[in-house]
């Protein structure tokens, strides 16, 4: 077993008096890919957001490499840089160039030397096939290109785990494959530890070491990927896969 990266213990989340996440428990080790599946509204985004501090949770604990995350602690800002996140909406600055978007956080937050980060960025842009676009404004790019930049912007921070929340959901079908390939390469070649929320079931089956199947904020299954897709334990998961034509 490789090193533990994230551990979630009895996490509960309320919005007002609505109980959104119920006693969530799981562990993620270095190099593992966990896919988070479940119907719309089951709490996938809320869980992902709790893991990188965009949402506070009501009880329970999250550990990063054995260290308990406390959102009010000074060390949280440091830990947070190790947890990369990419969303469905790219949230790039439209009036900055691709390179300026990428350099912003590493130079301002991490105080890394601009020249060095720019060199890093060129390498990453090449990896995603966008080396020619460094000086373009992000508003000029297609959705698929913007999403690649959003991935580079997360990777430039040298994260130890990447969280992807439906990153292909708003893309044209012909853009989807390229993004899925980038995530596959990150896993297979760079052994990146990842949590992926996706509705692309073929991709999920290919990439998932572990599947968490969520419904109404409960984990119904925490199953090795191969087992989940071949033989889901619960009827609810079987129905879900069927509804996805899988």
Binding site for Mg ion (CB under 5 A): 44-45
CA distances from 194 to 33, 103, 132, 245 (A): 5, 23, 28, 25
Pick one of Mg ion, ligand ADP, none as the site partner of residue 41 (Cβ within 5 to 8 A by kind).
Answer: ligand ADP
Task: Please identify, using beta-carbon distances, which residue of 41 and 123 lies nearer to ligand ADP.
Answer: 41
Q: How far is the CB of 71 from ligand ADP (least distance, A)?
A: 17
33-37: strand order across its sheet: 83-86, 161-165, 193-197, 33-37, 210-215, 218-224
Specify the residue, 7 or 19, whose C-beta has the smaller distance to ligand ADP.
Answer: 19
Where does the chain have alpha helices with state H? 44-51, 75-80, 98-108, 114-127, 143-155, 173-188, 201-207, 225-230, 235-243
From ligand ADP, Mg ion, none, which one binds at residue 42 (CB under 5 to 8 Å depending on kind)?
Answer: ligand ADP
Min separation Cβ 235 and ligand ADP, Å: 19
Two tokens, residue 228: 């989940």
Residues near ligand ADP (CB under 6 A) are: 15, 20, 38, 40-46
Query: Is 46 or 138 the residue whose CB approaches ligand ADP more closely?
Result: 46
CB under 5 to 8 A by kind: which of Mg ion, ligand ADP, none does 43 bind? ligand ADP
166, 123 in Cβ contact below 8 A?
A: no
Compute the least distance from the CB of residue 38 to ligand ADP, in Å.
Answer: 6
Whichever of 56 and 67 has its CB closer to ligand ADP, that residue is: 56
- In angstroms, the Cα distances linking 245 to 156, 174, 188, 241 are 36, 19, 26, 6
What's the start-to-end Cα distance of the chain, in Å? Answer: 31
Please list, in sequence order, all residues whose beta carbon lies within 8 angstroms of the beta carbon of residue 243, skipping any fewer than 6 positions away: none
Q: How far is the CB of 125 from ligand ADP (least distance, A)?
A: 30
Q: Which is nearer to ligand ADP, 87 or 229 (CB)?
A: 87
Find the shortest distance in angstroms from Cβ 43 to ligand ADP.
4
Least distance from Mg ion to the Cβ atom of residue 188, Å: 26
- Which residues have CB under 8 Å from 202's CB, separation 6+? 246
Q: Which does 40 bind (CB under 5 to 8 A by kind): Mg ion, ligand ADP, none?
A: ligand ADP
Residue number, 87 or 203, with CB nearest to ligand ADP = 87
């Amino acid at each position: 077993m490789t090193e533990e990266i994230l551990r979630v213990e009895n996490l509960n989340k309320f919005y007002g008096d609505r109980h959104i996440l119920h006693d969530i428990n799981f562990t993620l080790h270095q190099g593992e890919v966990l896919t988070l599946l479940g119907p719309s509204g089951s709490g996938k985004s809320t869980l992902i957001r709790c893991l990188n501090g965009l949402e506070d949770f009501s009880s329970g604990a999250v550990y990063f490499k054995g260290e308990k995350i406390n959102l009010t602690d000074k060390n949280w800002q440091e830990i947070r840089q190790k947890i990369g996140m990419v969303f469905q909406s790219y949230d790039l600055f439209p009036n900055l160039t691709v390179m300026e978007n990428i350099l912003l956080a590493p130079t301002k937050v991490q105080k890394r030397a601009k020249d060095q980060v720019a060199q890093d960025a060129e390498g990453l842009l090449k990896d995603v096939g966008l080396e020619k676009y460094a000086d373009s404004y992000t508003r000029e790019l297609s959705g698929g290109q913007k999403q690649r930049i959003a991935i580079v912007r997360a990777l430039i921070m040298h994260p130890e785990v990447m969280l992807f929340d439906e990153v292909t959901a708003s893309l044209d079908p012909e853009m989807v494959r390229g993004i899925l390939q980038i995530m596959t390469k990150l896993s297979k070649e760079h052994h990146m530890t990842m949590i992926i929320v996706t509705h692309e079931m073929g991709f999920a089956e290919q990439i998932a070491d572990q599947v968490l199947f969520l419904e109404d904020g409960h984990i119904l299954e925490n199953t090795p990927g191969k087992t989940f897709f071949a033989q889901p334990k619960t009827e609810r998961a079987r129905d879900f896969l069927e509804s996805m034509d899988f």
